[in-house]
Amino acid sequence: MSSYFTDLAQQYIDGEWRPGTGSWDIIDFNPYDDEKLASITIATVDEVDEAYQAAARAQKKWAETNPYARRAVFERALRLIEEREGEIAEAIIAELGGTRLKAGFELHLAKEFLREAINLSLRPEGRIIPSPVDGKENRVYRVPVGVVGVISPFNFPFLLSIKSVAPALALGNAVVLKPHQNTPIVGGSLVAKIFEDAGLPAGLLNVVITDIAEIGDAFLEHPIPKVISFTGSDKVGRHVATVCAQHFKRSVLELGGNSALVVLDDADLDYAVDAAVFSRYVHQGQVCMAANRVLVDRSVAEEFTEKFVAKVRTLKAGDPRDPETVIGPVINSSQADAISGAVEQALADGATALVHGTRTDNLVEPSVLTDLPANSPLLKQELFGPVALLVTFDGEEEAVRLVNDTPYGLSGAVHTANIERGVAFAKRIDTGMFHVNDGTVHDEPIVPFGGEKQSGIGRLNGDTMLDSFTTTKWISVQHGRSGFPF
């Protein structure tokens, strides 16, 4: 595993591993023990240009390659991940502070998405559409967009890089990938290494490890990429969308959330507790779909709260390498500061801490807050950390209002003994995804994934990848002679 952080601490452009030419280095730290994992000289604007130029050169031949031949690359990539699963898991634990459970979860999904990419290679189909003009044949072809820029986040970097990179490549595009600065290896160069070893031709996947302070908007504004796929915060996503619109590019935005898990008066409380604790605390709450808010009908609130708090107190926080650890470190000190500050501000505003976790460096123990004022900003924002907000409500109408009272609309869940009651409830919520009698954290390769409101634009997964990474082209054929008015 350690060889990843030495051998892959470089840029990957046009099939070559090389150092960046920037004047400073990104230092890659283990967020748990602050161990220096790698030092990577950043890419400059010139290298971003070289990466996009290489992608453009390689893409046309790749698009003309038989899709069955393209498919073979992803089959080999899948086998390589399976063979190296232990090493990749160790890298996830080291670079992200992810627990062993989380590393396994991420790898499982990454393999599932690669399997879907294998199928996606053969998915594009053309159409023949009738014409009102005699003798005219309308052909509609589905073709690659060309080059796709992918910006991946720090929380599930291996999975979320592959989730856009693999489909874009499978559909005949080339890709330039910019991983998050905190996860440059797992989210960037490791992905490139796997595809290189799987036989992907040079230039089709390029990785630039850099920082906005160095390149500004060059990654977004460059004239070559036709689509930018961004996963991250709504604040940055808004900027990405604005820049893309100014340059007539398509943006696919998977942004933050403020999801709620709702417990109705007829729910199985023990099961709802299990779902809520997982939905809030998986990967230290650093998940866009995490249940920021747990809404409970007042008639069952006392019993639910008692069980919920008891379970949270059992969650072991500590070294993510320990198989017993459930709560590892958050990604960096800025994130730890923000979480601790949010808790203290909530308490100052009148909230009650049923569990008040302590902080040691980047390790933030779980907290459970209740009695938040109705106007508390914490109830409407995304809280990317191990803090649960318990809110009581009186009846379904109030529950619907509370769930929707947020600028986000990504995921959510409702628990009830009556499935159709749950489905009816879900239909009233302004989200892209909602789950009945389950957790809020789900992702499946062929089901459309995405949000409403400030949680994003567009969808990923399955056939929606065709909408994201291909375009349509109308070619008409006139059989015989057409008539013209002059």
Tell me the pLDDT tens digit for each residue of 195-221: 999 999 999 999 999 999 999 999 999
First to last CA, the chain: 73
* Measured CA distances, 273 to 291, 300, 322 (Å): 12, 12, 24
Give me the phi and psi of 236, to 5 degrees please. -70, -35
Length of the chain: 486
Per domain, the residue ranges of the chain are 2-255+455-474, 259-436
Structure token digits, residue 353: 């801490």
Q: What is the pLDDT of residues 241-296, one digit of tens each?
A: 999 999 999 999 999 999 999 999 999 999 999 999 999 999 999 999 999 999 99
**pLDDT of amino acid 134:** 94
Give CA torsion, residues 48, 116, 84, 95, to 10 deg.
Answer: 50
Structure token digits, residue 22: 């920037």
d(CA 391, CA 382): 16
Q: Parallel, antiparallel, or unpaired: how do β-strands 25-29 and 435-436 relate? A: unpaired
Angle at 356 between CA 352 and CA 358, to 5 degrees: 150
Q: What is the pLDDT of residues 109-144, one digit of tens each?
A: 999 999 999 999 999 999 999 999 999 999 999 999
Q: What is the pLDDT of residues 334-361, one digit of tens each?
A: 999 999 999 999 999 999 999 999 999 9
From 207, 113, 119, 124, select the one nearest 172 (Cα to Cα).
124
| DSSP per-residue string spanning 262-330 | EE-TTS-HHHHHHHHHHHHHGGGG--TT-EEEEEEEHHHHHHHHHHHHHHHTT--BS-TTSTT-SB---
3-state class (DSSP) for residue 144: strand
From 348, 440, 453, 367, select the one nearest 407 (Cα to Cα).
453
From 250, 216, 159, 245, select the one nearest 444 (Cα to Cα).
159
**CATH topology (fold) of 2-255+455-474:** Aldehyde Dehydrogenase; Chain A, domain 1 (3.40.605)
Residue with tokens 């004047």: 23
d(CA 42, CA 20): 5
Question: Is the pLDDT score of 145 beyond 60?
Answer: yes
Q: Do domains 2-255+455-474 and 259-436 have the same CATH topology?
A: no
Give me the phi and psi of 436, to 5 degrees please. -100, 125
Q: Parallel, antiparallel, or unpaired: how do β-strands 363-364 and 359-360 relate? A: antiparallel
With a CB cutoff of 8 Å and minimum separation 6, the contacts of 383 are 258, 285, 292, 339, 342, 389
Give how far the C-alpha of residue 295 lies from the chain's centroid of Cα atoms, to the nearest Å. 25
Angle at 400 between CA 397 and CA 404, to 5 degrees: 145
Q: What is the pLDDT of residues 355-397, one digit of tens each?
A: 999 999 999 999 999 999 999 999 999 999 999 999 999 999 9
Contact yes or no for 165/191 (Cβ under 8 A):
yes
Give me the phi and psi of 269, to 5 degrees please. -70, -40
Structure token digits, residue 271: 């099961």
| DSSP per-residue string spanning 55-99 | HHHHHHHHHHS-HHHHHHHHHHHHHHHHHTHHHHHHHHHHHH---
Q: What is the mean pLDDT of the chain?
A: 96
How sure is the predictor about 2, in pLDDT bands with cuts at 50, 70 and 90?
A: low
Question: Is the pLDDT score of 16 beyond 90?
Answer: yes
From 118, 197, 111, 77, select the one nearest 465 (Cα to Cα).
118
Taking residues 394-401, report their average pLDDT.
98
**pLDDT of amino acid 1:** 52
Angle at 85 between CA 79 and CA 91, to 5 degrees: 135
In our burial notation (b when 16+ CB lie closer than 10 A, e otherwise), range 57-82 reads: ebbeebbeeeeeebbebbeebbebbe
The residues that are catalytic are: 254, 288
d(CA 370, CA 376): 11
**pLDDT of amino acid 41:** 97
DSSP assigned state of 33: T
Under CATH, domain 259-436 is a member of which superfamily? Aldehyde Dehydrogenase; Chain A, domain 2 (3.40.309.10)
Give me the phi and psi of 177, to 5 degrees please. -110, 130
d(CA 362, CA 96): 11
**pLDDT of amino acid 483:** 87
